[in-house]
Structure 1
Amino acid sequence: MMIYYKISPCNPAAHLFSIELTIDSPDPNGQELYLPTWIPGSYLIREFAKNIVSIAAKSSAGAVLLRKLDKARWQAEAVAGALTVTYTVYAYDLSVRGAYLDTERGFFNGTSVFLAVAGYEECPCRVQIVAPADTRWRVATTLKPAQVDVAAFGEYQAENYDELIDHPVEMADFSVIRFEACGVPHRLVVSGRHQADLTRVANDLRRICEYQIQFFGSPAPFKEYVFLTLVVGDGYGGLEHRASTALICKRSDLPLPHEVEIKPGYLQFLGLCSHEYFHSWNVKRIKPAVYAPYDLQQENYSRLLWAFEGITSYYDDLTLVRSGLINQQTYLDLLSQTITSVERGQGRLVQTLEDASFDAWVKYYRQDENSPNALVSYYTKGALFALCLDLTIRQKTGGEKSLDDVMRALWLRFGLSFEQAKLGVAEDEWEKIAQQVTGLDLSCLFDLGLRSTTELPLRSLLLELGIEWQQRAASSSADKGGWQEGLKSSNSSLGVKTVAETSGVKLTHVFTNGAAQLAGLAAGDVLLAWNGLRLTNANLEQFISSSLVGERVEIHAFRRDELMQFELFVQAAPLDTVGLKAPATLEVGFLKA
């Protein structure tokens, strides 16, 4: 049986998609329908059904009663013959996770717009994408076309519902650059106003793609690949799919035609592309057993996100240096910043990597003012653990084995085909395979890195390679880490993060046992005065740096609408900033392809 969908941008000004779903042979007991509550790759219940504005059903006999069963499920009364369900979806989520529609652009993930037909999820699907009134628009997607026009509007097909929702769709008057990597057609599709040198971007992406395809071995796990990129004034994000990725970046991140160097924003964008592309293997095919298949109605808990997001985060920047896009020291600067981001959170001393993975649904994706004190990122600390694992394997095998070998073994066992991917990696299986492949007993390292909050042995492992490690205080609030010649560190600290407020300085985060917390200040407080002098975001850093450690300061602040006074004692700035440097003559082995 074929499941039919028709989606139309019926009212772009009101951000409404209209969808028509037809089921030729519905469940004779009454067909159940549901919309996913989350999207694979983003581990948070997002309640996409909240955006369904109206819904109705009919058959050849007329209107059909739809009974809502819960927040995301409906059941139609039993009918003879075909059942047609029509509904409208409000689409104004600019992120990569949902659906968006206005007069300039349309975008959707299938999880936001396509109701699943319970019991028929394995049936083939056909979807018609209807062109809007704006004739400039074209379609970009990796859904398999069945019959489309020159602008790619028309009919597409998918083998089942899982495939249908894993190919996002972009509709706009976009720019497109085509290139090949290891013989596979790729497209860079860019929506939004820009003046970027897309030829340069495509050439850089080609190097990333070719390295990663060669890393796992040809053929690539897709017949084509598309980078769907939205350019905005301020934004960042990415989400992986089986043959594409949806990306958001700042307009200023992309290189202009006259720019030659890789500026920080562009380096971040290339790292994002590298990350999402690596997911084509690690998480889209090699995946936790609990995701094989996904249960899109509820949380799918796994203690392995460190392996799928953390290891991917390790290889994203590693790809940039191994493919020759950046040099060795630039990579070490990026690694310094990753280490620094972990060092600055007290959560690393509270939450283990396995717990961080398991609790992603309620902690990582729902961060608040106390998150730096209570959680650690399985992305960043996961990447650092991956580096420790890689260096340990190389050291103990004399360079004969590495994490690369483990990843390739996982690919051969779990990823070569979607049939293999249906197996999924059991919760205890990743570690067993790593030890089988390397011939090493790595249990102590896994216990330390995954199931304890003990500091990782990263410093000693890097020093053994000849990489210098600099541990210092931050030089300013803008200091993200990296080697610093002629140290200019701040000597004093309040232990806070701030943002500018019209009346003063607002505390967004107050760190555990910092001067501000010990004084009784809290996140949300607006600092007004420092020893009777008006505070602004511009002069706070000056006040802190000119104060002596242990000095008493009188702080006036608003908590909500109440004026309060605090006695604060300035602390020494923590040595939570790391810089790495290797001698120019030193070739660091793990950075080589």
Structure 2
Amino acid sequence: MRFLTLILLLIMALAPSPSFGNSKTGRKTAGRSTASSDLPKFAAAYTIESLAPNLHTYQISVTVQNAEKKDEIDFTLPAWRPGRYQIQNYAANVQEFKAVSGAAVLYAMKVDKQTWRVKTDGKAEITAIYKYYAGAQLDAGNSYVGADEMYFNGSNLFVYTDETRFKPVSLDIVCPDDWKIATQLERLGKTNRFTAETYDDLIDAPTVASPTLIEFSTVVRGAKIRMVFQNGERALKGFQFNEKNITRDIAKIVETQFDLYKEVPFKEYIFLYHITPYRFSHGVEHKNSTSIVIGGEAEMDMRYDGFLSVTSHEFYHVWNIKRIIPKEFLPYNYTREAYTPMLYVSEGFTSYYGDLSLVRSKVWSPSRYLAELGDNITAMQNTYGRKIQPLALSSFDAWLSGYGTGRANSTVSFYSKGELVGLLLDIEIRKRTDNNASLDDVMRALNTEFAQQHKGFTASDFESLVEKIGGGSFKSFFEKYVYGTDELPFDTSLELLGLAVKKSLARTPFFGASTTVENNFPVVSAVVPESPAALAGFDKGDMLIALNGLSLMNESLNKVLERFKPDERVKISYLRGGKLTETTVRLSGAYGYSVTKKLNATEAQQKMCESWLNAKWDDI
């Protein structure tokens, strides 16, 4: 009997506590339980915990006040998130939604794709409880839970009510005691309870909890700049990619952008980085933080420039889109699209200033920046959609085709073309004002006249500011390059900076079809209008078998094309509908662009270029 008792005691000691979920280490705690006494202070009290890490499932609850004793309360989950202008339908990940008040179970019914209506029975406090699947491949804008990490964007998984959305809220994070938590939310003492002024502030704070977070920080003009890495231990031992270099270069970027806007709008800012084993790059902006997912882990030394570029881009969003906001977004309506023609400013100009900040801060050399500019021009001039879709429409239609959806070769990116239009507008303002004003002044005016006054801006507001600062009408500029599809005048604009745009034949001749690989052969996925492929009649679904008798099995189409020259005729064998066909195609030239200094630049051109890049002409 004594032996049996010992065995039972041993089993009880080894059995996992129910509060652990499936966590391997540590006791799970939240700051303290969500009590009724907290609710007068917090209109909504949220709790999130990892319910089943191996099944990638969160359990979430939110308790809200029903001070007005309404008969029904709607709990709504956003259909999209700020920073990604596309309907995401996060409610598809919600499971087992239910509502209670104390021990009483309340009737809850889903009334549309993202809303659950709860019958309150006159209760003063209502709690919604549900599970949320978070197991998709990690990117900066979604949520994930696994054995050693909780990462979430509140817009994905926290429901709200109209009655409590603009009131103070709290969040309890239930995780093992030895886990660290990184978020821009305000922490209550040493607990795992965090607070936000409103629901909108809550979901604008990406959060990661993990036992393996690495953090270092610096101070720039009195503001604490935190850099937090998940899965970064090996990557941070690089020759370039290491704590010393990252801290130094991010401090320079931050200082440069503070200089541009002449303000420090926060006391603390957090860069949240996930380092992935595979090649990847994605960032999402938030008011006082950013989340960036980047990899591969073994390549971070080689990808250091890309790391700095996405970092600078996301930090510029501190102003542009997080404070300088198109009027159409205010207040955010998370249930439907918010159409605006201004994403080319909010995103495209951010890309422009992201990389420009790198050269102005001396993190990049002028030659490195000009090389990047040449690559951007090359990409744009090889995008057929630039001939079809105006930039403003690209912004407006982001919800339909801004992220690779829609008909191929019919769209242009408001990021990439917006960046180049930002460059040309900057140069045009400098030209008209004898370099006494620039796009910098326009962006500062947007900040002081709209952001700091808590107002959104319209297209008309922006264009009026450009004309006011630029000293005249810019109607023709906007009609051609923003609302029209005229070719961008890179040559004449950059010449004003003493720079030349050189056009040269690319190594690979132009065929004009993008392909995927199926059964070890390239298969046409899209055909560029007016291209050799289009003129020869190629169509989506054609399987390319051989070029001039050279098999394409397990071969890269572009690599094989490198063996030929522009204007050369090649015979292409392909399968369509199970029938082998052969046709002759006349290849054309593909072109690349580079930007270099002009040897005969005038003194005025040199000074304008120096002012633009914050660099001496001899160093450019």
TM-score, length of structure 2 as denominator length: 0.86
1:578 aligns with 2:593: yes
Shift in alpha-carbon separation, 1:71–1:447, aligned structure 2, 3 A: same
Q: Does 1:95 align with 2:139?
A: yes
Q: Secondary structure at the match of 1:281?
A: coil
- Tell me, what secondary structure is at the counterpart of 2:170? strand
Cα distance in structure 2, aligned partners of 1:235 and 1:542: 24
Give the Å deviation of 1:124: 0.8
Asked if 1:53 is matched to 2:95, the reply is yes
1:394 aligns with 2:430: yes
Q: Alpha-carbon deviation of 1:582?
A: 1.4
Match of 1:472 among 504, 523, 547: 504
Aligned to 1:271: 309
1:314 partner letter: Y
Instruction: State the 1:275 CA deviation.
Output: 0.6
- 1:287 paired residue number: 325
In 2, distance between residues paired with 1:548 and 1:3? 66
State the 1:543 CA deviation: 4.4
Paired position in structure 1 for 2:23: none
Deviation at 1:73, TM superposition (A): 0.3
Q: Find the residue that maps to 2:187 and give its secondary structure.
A: strand
Q: CA deviation at 1:539?
A: 6.2
**Contact 2:351–2:415, Cα closer than 8 Å, also in 1:** yes
Q: 1:454 aligns with which of 468, 486, 493?
A: 486
2:125 aligned partner: 82
In 1, are the aligned partners of 2:235 and 2:298 still within 8 Å (CA)?
no
- SS at 2:188's partner residue? strand
SS class of match (1:204): helix
Paired residue type of 1:398: D
Matched residue of 1:120: which SS?
Answer: coil
Query: Of 17, 26, 46, which residue of structure 2 is paired with 1:5?
Result: 46
Q: 1:530 aligned to 2:555?
A: no
- 1:142-187 superposed Cα distances (whole Å, 9 cap, x missing partner): 00112334xxxx1011111111110010112111111112221111
CA shift for structure 1 position 446: 1.3
Asked if structure 2 preserves the Cα contact closer than 8 Å seen for 1:204 and 1:325, the reply is yes
- 8 A contact 2:275–2:296 mirrored in 1: yes
- Pick one of 328, 341, 346 that aligns with 2:366: 328
- Of the candidates 168, 183, 186, which is equivalent to residue 144 of structure 1? 186
- Helix, strand or coil for the counterpart of 2:377? helix
Structure 1 stretch displaced more, 497-506 or 123-132? 497-506
Partners of 1:499 and 1:314 in 2: CA distance: 31
Corresponding residue SS for 2:325 = coil
Q: Tell me if structure 1 keeps the 8 A contact 2:235–2:297.
A: no
Distance 2:420 2:288 in 1: 28
C-alpha distance after superposition, 1:443-466 (max 9, x if no partner) = 111111111100122210112322
Is the 1:177–1:199 contact (alpha carbons within 8 Å) kept by the matching residues of 2?
no
Equivalent residue, structure 1, for 2:285: 240
Alpha-carbon distance in structure 1 between the residues aligned to 2:150 and 2:118: 30
For 2:465, the equivalent position in structure 1 comes to 433
Aligned partners of 2:62 and 2:129 also within 8 Å: yes
Moved more, 22-31 or 90-99: 22-31
Q: Alpha-carbon deviation of 1:24? A: 2.7
User: 2: CA distance between counterparts of 1:542 and 1:25?
Assistant: 66
2 CA distance for matches of 1:539 and 1:103?
A: 39
Q: Distance in 1 between matches of 2:298 and 2:385?
A: 30
| Residue of 445, 450, 460 corresponding to 1:409 | 445
- Deviations 1:252-310 (Å, cap 9, x if unpaired)? 58655xxxxxx4x2111111111110011010000100111111100000001111111
Larger Rg: 2
Q: Secondary structure at the match of 1:200?
A: helix
> Is 1:113 aligned to residue 151 of structure 2?
no
Asked whether the 8 Å contact 1:144–1:157 carries over to 2, the reply is: yes
Residue 505 of structure 2 contacts residue 590 of structure 2 at CA under 8 Å; is this kept in 1?
yes
Name the SS for the 2:462 alignment partner.
helix
- The aligned amino acid for 2:429 is I
The answer as to whether partners of 2:316 and 2:354 remain within 8 angstroms in 1 is yes
Structure 2 partner of 1:170: 208
Return the alpha-carbon distance in structure 2 between the equivalents of residues 536 and 332 of structure 1. Answer: 38
Report the CA distance shift for 1:175/1:412 in structure 2 as closer, same or farther (over 3 A): same
For residues 530 and 70 of structure 1, do their structure 2 counterparts lie closer, same or farther at Cα, with a shift above 3 Å needed? Answer: same
Pairing partner for 1:301 from 331, 339, 356: 339
Q: Is 2:498–2:597's contact at 8 Å kept on the other side of the alignment?
A: yes
Q: Which whole-Å deviations, capped at 9, do the CAs of 1:413-467 have from their partners, x for residues lacking one?
A: 1223xxx23x200232110112122322211111111111001222101123221
Cα displacement string for residues 233-270 of structure 1 (whole angstroms, at most 9, x for unaligned residues): 221100000010010111358655xxxxxx4x211111
Per-residue Cα deviation, 1:45-95 (whole angstroms, up to 9, x for no partner): 000010001111111361100011100001100322211111110012311
The 3-state SS of whatever aligns with 1:295 is: coil
CA contact (8 A) 1:289 1:427 kept: no
Q: Match of 2:403, SS? A: helix
- Alpha-carbon shift at residue 226 of structure 1 (Å): 0.7
Q: Is this contact kept in 2: 1:142–1:243, CA < 8 A? A: yes
Within 5 Å, give how 1:16-55 maps onto structure 2: 16-25=57-66, 28-55=70-97
Listed as ranges, the matches of 1:174-323 within 5 Å are 174-193=213-232, 194-196=234-236, 197-218=242-263, 220-232=264-276, 233-252=278-297, 255-256=300-301, 263=302, 265-323=303-361
Contact in 1 for aligned 2:185/2:205 (Cα 8 Å) = yes
Tell me whether 493-502 or 8-17 shows the greater mean CA deviation.
Answer: 493-502
Structure 2, unaligned runs of 5 or more: 1-39, 237-241, 616-620
Corresponding position of 2:112 = 70
Range with bigger deviation, 460-469 or 230-239:
460-469
Check conservation: 2:520, 2:554, Cα contact below 8 A.
Answer: no
Change beyond 3 A, Cα 1:68–1:500: closer
* Alpha-carbon distance, 1:130 to partner: 0.8
Asked if 2 retains the 8 angstrom alpha-carbon contact of 1:222 and 1:242, the reply is no
Is this contact kept in 2: 1:352–1:451, CA < 8 A? yes
Partner of 2:474: 442
- Give per-residue Cα distances to partners, 1:451-497, cap 9 Å, x unaligned: 11001222101123221211122224xxxxxxxxxxxxxxx321123
Structure 1 residues 549, 471: CA separation in 2 closer, same or farther (over 3 Å shift)? closer
Does the aligned pair in 1 maintain the 2:215–2:227 contact within 8 Å?
yes
Q: Which residue is equivalent to 2:35?
A: none
1:355-385 deviation line (CA, Å, top 9, x unaligned) = 00000010112436x43x2011111111111
Would the aligned equivalents of 2:342 and 2:392 in 1 still touch at CA under 8 Å?
A: yes
Question: Is the Cα contact below 8 Å between 1:356 and 1:378 reproduced in 2?
Answer: yes
For 1:451, what is the secondary structure of its paired residue? Answer: coil
Secondary structure at the counterpart of residue 28 of structure 1: coil
Q: Does the CA contact (< 8 Å) of 1:191 and 1:229 recur in 2?
A: yes
CA RMSD between the two structures: 2.0
Question: Quick one: structure 1 residues 245 and 524, their matched pair in 2 at CA, closer, same or farther if it must change by over 3 Å?
Answer: farther
The change in CA–CA distance for 1:323 and 1:539 in structure 2 (over 3 A counts) is closer
Indicate the larger mover: 33-42 or 182-191: 182-191
Q: State the partner residue of 1:487.
A: none
Q: Helix, strand or coil for the counterpart of 1:190? A: strand
Query: 2: distance between equivalents of 1:549 and 1:310?
Result: 33
Q: Which moved more, 1:455-464 or 1:38-47?
A: 455-464
Higher deviation after alignment, 429-438 or 278-287 = 429-438
Q: Is the partner of 1:493 in helix, strand or coil?
A: coil
SS at match of 2:164: coil
Matched residue of 1:210: which SS? Answer: helix
TM-score by structure 1 length? 0.90
Q: Residue in 2 aligned with 1:481?
A: none
Separation of aligned partners in 1, 2:556 and 2:296:
30
Q: Confirm whether residue 161 of structure 1 aligns to residue 199 of structure 2.
A: yes
Question: Structure 1 residue 540: deviation in Å?
Answer: 3.8
